[in-house]
C-alpha cells in the first residue's frame, strides 16, 4: 500500500506580515498603500515549498494610504468598489524555485470580480523555530499589475495632459507564515 504525502499547512502571521502597493501620482511621486485585513494560507508537501499552493484574500474596505479622503475614494466605485466587491483574492497556479532562495509565483488575482493571471517574484528568507516552539517561514514578494485590467479605470488628465494616477501598480508583500499543527 502506497501512502500519500500529507501537505504541510501554513497560516499567515498577521502581526509580522504586510501587503503593500505603490502607484505614481501625477507621474512624479509615489503613493504607498496597504491592506490591513487579510488572510493567507499555504499548503506544501515539500520543506522547500516547491509547488506549494498559496491562497490569499484581502478585505478591500481595509485599504489605507494614510489619507482618509484618498482612502474613501479608493473604496468607492471609481476604484475597488468595496461595497459591491468586498474581497479581492489570489490563488496560485504554480510556485517554483528558480535558483537558491529565488522563486516564481504564478496565479490568478481577482479584483472587482475580474480575474487575471499574474506573476510575482518571491524571495524565500528561510524557516526557523521561534522561542515558543512554532515553526516560521518568511517570504518577500514583488511584482506589477496594470490596474485597468481589473476594472480600476478612474483617472483624470492634468492641465499639462498627463495622468493623475499611473496604470501600473507595484505590489510588495512581506510574509511570515506559521506551520499549523
Going from N- to C-terminal start, the domains of the chain cover: 8-179
Q: Write the class of the CATH domain 8-179.
A: mainly beta
Please give the mean pLDDT across all residues of the chain: 91
**In the prediction, which pLDDT does 3 show?**
47
Mean pLDDT across 148-163: 76
**In the prediction, which pLDDT does 152 show?**
86
Top pLDDT among 105 and 154 is at 105
Alpha carbon of 132 to those of 12, 108, 126, 135, 136: distances in Å?
17, 35, 18, 9, 11
The band of 47, judged by pLDDT with boundaries at 50, 70 and 90, is confident
Rg (CA), the chain: 18
**In the prediction, which pLDDT does 71 show?**
97
Top pLDDT among 159 and 111 is at 111
Residue 98: pLDDT over 70: yes
Three-state secondary structure call for residue 151: coil
**In the prediction, which pLDDT does 27 show?**
80
Amino acid at each position: 500500500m502506497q501512502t500519500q504525502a500529507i501537505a504541510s499547512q501554513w497560516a499567515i502571521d498577521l502581526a509580522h506580515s504586510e501587503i503593500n502597493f505603490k502607484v505614481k501620482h501625477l507621474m512624479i511621486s509615489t503613493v504607498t498603500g496597504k491592506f490591513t485585513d487579510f488572510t493567507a494560507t499555504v499548503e506544501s508537501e515539500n520543506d522547500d515549498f516547491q509547488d506549494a499552493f498559496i491562497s490569499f484574500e484581502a478585505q478591500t474596505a481595509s485599504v489605507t494610504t494614510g489619507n482618509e479622503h484618498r482612502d474613501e475614494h479608493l473604496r468607492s466605485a471609481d476604484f475597488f468598489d468595496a461595497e459591491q466587491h468586498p474581497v479581492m483574492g489570489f490563488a496560485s497556479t504554480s510556485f517554483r524555485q528558480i535558483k537558491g532562495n529565488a522563486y516564481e509565483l504564478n496565479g490568478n488575482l481577482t479584483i472587482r470580480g475580474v480575474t487575471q493571471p499574474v506573476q510575482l517574484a518571491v524571495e524565500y528568507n528561510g524557516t526557523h523555530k521561534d522561542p515558543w516552539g512554532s515553526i516560521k517561514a518568511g517570504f518577500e514578494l514583488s511584482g506589477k499589475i496594470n490596474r485597468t485590467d481589473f476594472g480600476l479605470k478612474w483617472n483624470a488628465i492634468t492641465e499639462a495632459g498627463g495622468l493623475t494616477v499611473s496604470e501600473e501598480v507595484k505590489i510588495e508583500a512581506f510574509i511570515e507564515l506559521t506551520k499549523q499543527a
